[in-house]
Amino acid sequence: MTMSRVDPLGVLASTRRVVERARQVRIEPGGVVRLADDLAGRDASPPPWNRDLHWSDGAERMANYLLVLDALNFSFWGEPRWRVRYDGETLDGYWALAASLTRAMEAGVPLDDARYLTGIDREQLARILAGEHEIPLLDERARVLREVGRGLLDHWGGRFTATIAAADRRGTRLVEIVSADFPSFRDVARYGGVEVRFYKRAQILVGDLHGAFGGVGPGTFDDLAELTAFADYKVPQVLRERGVLVYAPALVERLGARRELPPGSPEEVEIRAATIWGVEELRRALAERGRSFDAYQLDWLLWDAGQRLGAGVLPYHRTRTIFY
């Protein structure tokens, strides 16, 4: 496990220290090889940006919408499942969120207006996200949106495109700015008394801007290869199912019983750190097989595969947090 690429955010370095000391989670080299062989043999590729469920106007308002989308992109798990009906489909999880925000924008709700966001309350957001049952952490989501609105007004004249321009085509710089000006994106943990950086939602925001704008305009970044995987709960589930991650028996038992892992607990941090490095090792193995991927592209591919996991797989870890 060597550092062989630029790591401006310190995500690889800080998570590597966790992986080297972890007691509950480890990366299985043989699993990396098998999965790399499979993906290379199938000529697998990441899914394209979904233009049916994401709202788009191709311009400045879309940048603000994407900031809102990824500000709310966390903690969908739980029973009964929150679901949304949109365009003839019943959706849950992230896709329910994307569809809800699209539905609201189409109905004229000004989610791209920073001043509107600063005053949004629980009841307003509940109407925007209305569906079967209630989305988890509704109060926290409303608070996060108010924070986004204030951050945009205080620092960027209400325009996220101004934030993007300040990053000067560097996605990693945008991650730093977003994490500084919008504290709910500041995804940092501690392990053994040492800081561990993940920046899941801030990094995925860069990837989403790139996808939504087709790599042009506000979606132009020269350093996408410096992003890491986005450590959540679905990608490690896929990596564990495919033999890349191995969990200690006690952790397997806990996840199988669907018992929660507290945010910042050693097991939770180890799972997320191993996810970062499992994807990184997979990326390197694929490069050796002539298949070039950036880490964020592999993350998209694995996350998409996670939406189709069959019954009987070990449940994903459950941590109630605003960070993923």
Cα separations (Å) of 199 from 86, 130, 183, 185? 30, 28, 11, 7
Contact 277, 15 (CB under 8 A): yes
Residue 168 burial by CB count (10 A; 0-12/13-18/19+): exposed, middle or buried? exposed
Which one, of 228, 205, 319, 226, lies nearest residue 275 by Cα? 228
Contact 124, 159 (CB under 8 A): no
| Bridge partner list, 245 | 27
User: Does 181 qualify as catalytic in the annotation?
Assistant: no
Contact 206, 174 (CB under 8 A): yes
CA distance 278 to 32: 7
Which H/E stretch holds residue 246? Answer: strand 245-247
| Bridge partner list, 188 | 197
Find the catalytic residue in 70, 112, 208, 232: 232
The residues that are catalytic are 232
